[in-house]
Copies of this chain bind each other. A is one copy, B any other.
Amino acid sequence: MKHNFGAGPCILPQEVFKQASEAVLNFNNTGLSILEISHRSKEFIAVCEEAVQLVKELMNVPEGYSVLFLQGGASLQFLMSAINLLPEGGKAAYLETGVWAKKAIKEAKNFGEVEIVASSKDANFNFIPKGYTVPEDAAYFHITSNNTIYGTEMFDFPKTNVPLVCDMSSDIMSREVNVSDFGLIYAGAQKNIGPAGATVVIVKNDLLGKTGRTIPSMLDYQVHIDGESMFNTPPVFSIYVAMLNLRWLKAKGGVAAIEKENIAKADALYAEIDRNPFFKGTAAKEDRSRMNVTFVMENPELEKEFLKLAESRGCIGIKGHRSVGGFRASIYNALPIGGINALVAAMQEFEQSQK
């Protein structure tokens, strides 16, 4: 049995794979593959509507927000968030918490002034900056709620009068958030939502249309809102699988229930990292991510050996990102506690083997 700790695209529930596999042959007993049906068919419109409805329900999206399924991942949102919200001659504020935040900053600079209000760059992004001030004249304040590479996560969202824009790609729907605290949330689907190829956007409608810019159609949130995510041909299969996965999450008890599981999973793994003398965590304890657990070995020369042992015990995808080194266990919603147990057991087995 393999335990997939990959950082994304990542594990999804086995029952979702099974349903998706069946729909590739025969979707909803239409006799047609999900891959050949028209996006304008009543069957697919129902899928898309259910996916949007499930996002609204699972995240308690309030009135006045639109939920979109788009393409292009967070990388396209770096650009779209800025072109839609940053007025001509305006300024945006950004929190620099990792490589993805830096990329968001780079794209925003195409459209106006960017103020970096705080950064943990000098500590290789191993913590979330706190105690900064957001300039009142910023059009928005952009944060990254979870930093996959460094294993940090923001547990207290900043209180500010400026609209909060959040790249929630790697922890969306892993824990309860108050959507009304945000002006814009976006997330590449390929962690907790579904397979690669779709992007979820949750945007407060009354923030739009105020930049004074001409926005090309495909970059304009309002165009996609008006088109109900079908301004152009949507990524049919990715949205279908996301819908299946969101159904699974709902049946599990929703975000509150999965949050409890995620806390238990992260606690178990961090406890072993802290207990086992061969390992140590890399992120500041108060900012430790519940989605991406980064750790190294006290003796880096043993890392290859442990990696080999872990893989032989079915734990795959735990090699750390090159900029942090060591290991990264991505433990998204769909990773069962059995995966954590297997990794903890491998760590303990390694400890024993060194005695």
A interface residues (Cβ-Cβ under 8 A, vs B): 2, 4, 6-12, 17-18, 20-22, 24-25, 31-33, 35-39, 71-76, 78-79, 103, 106-107, 110, 188, 190, 195-197, 214, 216-219, 231-238, 241, 317
Can you list 22 A-B contacts with CB-CB less than 8 angstroms, sorted by A residue number? Answer: A2-B32, A4-B36, A6-B36, A8-B38, A11-B36, A17-B25, A20-B35, A21-B22, A35-B241, A71-B71, A71-B72, A72-B72, A75-B231, A75-B233, A78-B217, A103-B217, A106-B217, A107-B216, A195-B236, A196-B234, A196-B237, A235-B235
Q: Closest approach, in angstroms, between the C-beta of A315 and any C-beta of chain B? A: 13
A9 contact from B107, B233, B317, Cβ within 8 A: B233
B79 engages A236 (CB within 8 Å): no
Known: A79-B218, A107-B218, A237-B237. 11 other contacts (CB 8 A): A2-B31, A6-B37, A9-B36, A9-B37, A9-B236, A10-B36, A17-B35, A20-B35, A71-B197, A75-B217, A196-B236
Give Cα distance in the complex from A23 to B76, angstroms.
28
Give Cα distance in the complex from A35 to B234, angstroms.
18
CB contacts (< 8 Å) of A214 on chain B: these are 110
A317-B38 contact in complex given A188-B233, A233-B188, A235-B197, C-beta closer than 8 Å: yes
CB contacts (< 8 Å) of A17 on chain B: these are 24-25, 33, 35-36
Task: Specify the main secondary structure of chain A where it touches its partner.
Answer: loop
CB contacts (< 8 Å) of A2 on chain B: these are 31-32
A216 engages B79 (CB within 8 Å): yes
**How many copies of this chain?**
2
Give Cα distance in the complex from A322 to B147, angstroms.
48
B237 engages A195 (CB within 8 Å): yes
Give Cα distance in the complex from A11 to B214, angstroms.
38
Give Cα distance in the complex from A242 to B78, angstroms.
28
CB contacts (< 8 Å) of A235 on chain B: these are 71, 196-197, 235, 238
Which residue in chain B gives the minimum CB-CB distance to A71? Answer: B71
Give Cα distance in the complex from A231 to B196, angstroms.
14
CB contacts (< 8 Å) of A9 on chain B: these are 35-39, 233, 236
A190 engages B75 (CB within 8 Å): no
CB contacts (< 8 Å) of A106 on chain B: these are 217
Give Cα distance in the complex from A20 to B237, angstroms.
12
Which residue in chain B gives the minimum CB-CB distance to A316? Answer: B32
B107 engages A197 (CB within 8 Å): no
Q: Closest approach, in angstroms, between the C-beta of A335 and any C-beta of chain B? A: 10
Give Cα distance in the complex from A12 to B37, angstroms.
10
CB contacts (< 8 Å) of A22 on chain B: these are 21
